[in-house]
Structure 1
Amino acid sequence: MTSGMQALNDFVDTHGIERSSTGRCTFDADVDFVGDHNRAVEETEVTISFHTGDRNQVRMTPKGDLTLKFFHMDFADGPQEFQFDGQILTITGNSQKMDNYKVTVQPAR
C-alpha cells in the first residue's frame, strides 16, 4: 500500500467511516480548498474509494462555491499527494487549472 493510500485508510479508520462491500466510503465532509487564485469552503459529500477498479481515490460533489469550473473534484494517489495528521486529510497538488492547491477534508461536524 502506498503512503497516500495508507493516509486514506488511516483517515477512514480513525473517523469510523463505514466502507461499503465494494470498498467505497461516502460521507459528508467539511472541505477547505485553497488554490493560488481561488478558495472554497463547503460542506459536501465526499467518496473515498479503495476499489481497485476506480481511477480516482477521492471524489467530491460540487456544491456552492466548490464548482467544476474553478476546482478539481477528483483526486488520485500519485498525481496528488494524500497526507493524514491524525484528524484532517490533506490533498496537495499542482495543475494547469489551479496551479498549486491544497484541500483539507474532515467529517462534517
Structure 2
Amino acid sequence: MVDLVAGAIADPVRREILELLRAGPLPAGEIAGRFTITRPAISRHLRVLRESGLVRDETVGRQRMYALEPAALGELAAWIASMVAAPVWEQRLDALETEVYRTRRERREQHEAHPNRKTGSDG
C-alpha cells in the first residue's frame, strides 16, 4: 500500500486535488473546474487517488462526490518517520557514548594524577 500511496502523491496535480479535498468533499465537476487540464485527465487522477485509498467517492444525486481519506497516508507517514528518526537517534546515542567515554577518561586521569583523592562518585 505504501507504494500505491507514494505513487499517487508523486504527481503535483494529485497533490493539489488532495489539498482541495482537505476542506471537505467536492463533486468531480468542481474539482475538474479548478484545473486547466481536461476533465478526462482529472478523472484519471481521481481514479489513481481512489485506487490508492487516498480518496473515496459516492454518488449523490447526479454528482460523484470525492472526499479525502487521510488514514491512507498513515502507513507512508510511519515509514517516512522511521527513515527520519533513525539517524537522529543514532546521532544522539553516538553523542551519549562519546560523553560517557570522555567522562570515564577524565575520572581515570584525575585518579591517576591524584591517587589518594576521593571524587564525588567514589564515596
Tell me which interval the TM-score lies in, with the shorter structure as reference length: under 0.3
TM-score (normalizing by structure 2):
0.23
Structure with the larger RCO, 1 or 2 (CA within 8 Å, 6+ apart): 1
Q: Which has the larger radius of gyration?
A: 2
Greater share of residues in strand: 1
Greater share of residues in helix: 2
